Amino acid sequence: MSFTLYNWVLSGNCYKVRLLASLLDVAYETVAVDFHPGQQHKSEAMLALNPAGTLPVLVAGDLVLTETPAMLAWIAATFDPSGRWWPTNDARAMAEVMEWLAFSSALTATSGEARLKAVLDRPIDLPKALAGAERCFRQLEQHLVERRFGGGVWLVGDHPTIADIACFPYVALSPDGGLEHDAFPAIREWLYAIRGLPGFKTMPGIHELHELREGEAVHG
Amino acid sequence: MPTEPIGLSRDLPAKRVMRTMVDGQDIAVWRSASGKIAAWANRCPHRGMRLSHGFVRGENLACLYHGWHYGAHGRCTYIPAHPELEPPATIMAQAFSVEERDGLIWVASDGTAEPRGLPGGLAPLRSLTFQTAKSEASEAFSSTPFEGNPPAVQSSDAGGIVLRVDVDSRTLNIAAALHEANQGETTAHLLVSDEATPAQKVSLSRWCEAVRRRAEAHVTTRGQENAA
DSSP string computed for B95-136: EE-EEEETTEEEEESSS---PPP--SSEEEEEEEEESS-HHH
Buried b / exposed e over A106-139, threshold 16 CB at 10 Å, is: bbbebbbbbbbbbeeeeebeeeebbebbbebbbe
| pLDDT above 50: residue B36 | yes
Would you give the DSSP letter of residue B75? B
Q: Give domain A4-79's CATH number out of 3.90.950.10, 1.20.1090.10, 2.30.30.790, 3.40.30.10.
A: 3.40.30.10
pLDDT score for B223:
73
Q: Which residues of A touch B57 (CB under 8 A)?
A: 210
Q: B150: which residues sit within 8 A by CB, 6+ positions away?
A: B142, B143, B144
pLDDT score for B228:
64
Kindly state the average pLDDT of the residues A60-69. Answer: 98
Shortest alpha-carbon distance between residue A128 and chain B (Å): 16
pLDDT score for B130:
97
Domain with CATH 1.20.1050.10 in chain A: 91-214
Share of chain A above pLDDT 90, in %: 91
| pLDDT above 80: residue B125 | yes
| pLDDT above 80: residue A211 | no
Q: A200: which residues sit within 8 A by CB, 6+ positions away?
A: A19, A22, A23, A194, A208, A212
Contact A162, A85 (CB under 8 A): yes
Domain with CATH 3.40.30.10 in chain A: 4-79
More confident position, A207 or B131: B131
| pLDDT above 90: residue A206 | yes
Q: Which residues of B touch A193 (CB under 8 A)?
A: none
Shortest alpha-carbon distance between residue B201 and chain A (Å): 7
Least confident of A26-30, A171-175, B33-37, B43-47: B43-47
- Pick A210's closest partner by Cβ from B55, B127, B201: B55
| pLDDT above 90: residue A1 | no
Burial class (CB in 10 A: 0-12, 13-18, 19+), B158: exposed
Kindly give the pairing relationship between strand A57-60 and strand B3-8: unpaired
CB pairs under 8 A between A and B: 36
| pLDDT above 50: residue B159 | yes
Cβ separation A185–B126 shorter than 8 A:
yes
Phi, psi of B76, deg, nearest 5? -65, 130
| pLDDT above 60: residue A71 | yes
Shortest alpha-carbon distance between residue A106 and chain B (Å): 21
End-to-end CA distance of chain A: 35
| pLDDT above 80: residue B227 | no
**CA angle centred on A211, ends A165 and A138, rounded to 5°:** 40
| pLDDT above 90: residue B22 | yes
pTM attached to this predicted model:
0.94
Shortest alpha-carbon distance between residue B56 and chain A (Å): 8
Contact B141, B176 (CB under 8 A): yes
pLDDT score for A3:
98
- Pick B209's closest partner by Cβ from A142, A150, A180: A142
pLDDT band at A219 (very low <50, low <70, confident <90, very high): very low
Q: Which residues of A touch B55 (CB under 8 A)?
A: 210
Question: Which residues in chain A (152-191) have CB-CB distances under 8 A to chain B?
Answer: 180, 182-183, 185-186, 188-189
pLDDT score for A214:
57
A158 three-state secondary structure: coil
Phi, psi of B59, deg, nearest 5? -100, 10
> Residue B38 forms beta bridges with which residues?
B30
Q: Which residues of B touch A185 (CB under 8 A)?
A: 7-8, 11, 126-127
| pLDDT above 80: residue A5 | yes
pLDDT band at A208 (very low <50, low <70, confident <90, very high): confident
Contact B127, B198 (CB under 8 A): no
Cβ separation A182–B20 shorter than 8 A:
yes
State the Cα–Cα distance between residues B74 and B30, nearest whole angstrom: 11
| pLDDT above 90: residue A34 | yes
Kindly state the average pLDDT of the residues B54-62. Answer: 95
| pLDDT above 50: residue A217 | no
Cα–Cα distances (Å) from B168 to A90, A95, B9, B105, B165, in that order, read 32, 31, 28, 31, 10
State the Cα–Cα distance between residues A191 and A203, nearest whole angstrom: 14
Contact A170, A127 (CB under 8 A): no
Q: ipTM strictly over 0.90?
A: yes
What CATH code would you report for A91-214? 1.20.1050.10
Q: B101: which residues sit within 8 A by CB, 6+ positions away?
A: B115, B118
Least confident of A68-82, A124-138, B210-224: B210-224
pLDDT score for A216:
44
**CA nearest to A149 within chain B:** B198
Mutate to test the interface with B, among A149, A192, A210 (most CBs of B within 10 A): A149
Kindly state the average pLDDT of the residues A89-104. Answer: 98
Kindly state the average pLDDT of the residues A2-7. Answer: 97
State the Cα–Cα distance between residues B128 and B66, nearest whole angstrom: 33
| pLDDT above 80: residue A218 | no
Contact A58, A20 (CB under 8 A): no
Contact B191, B154 (CB under 8 A): no
Average pLDDT, chain A: 94
Sheet holding B104-108, edge to edge: B3-8, B104-108, B98-101
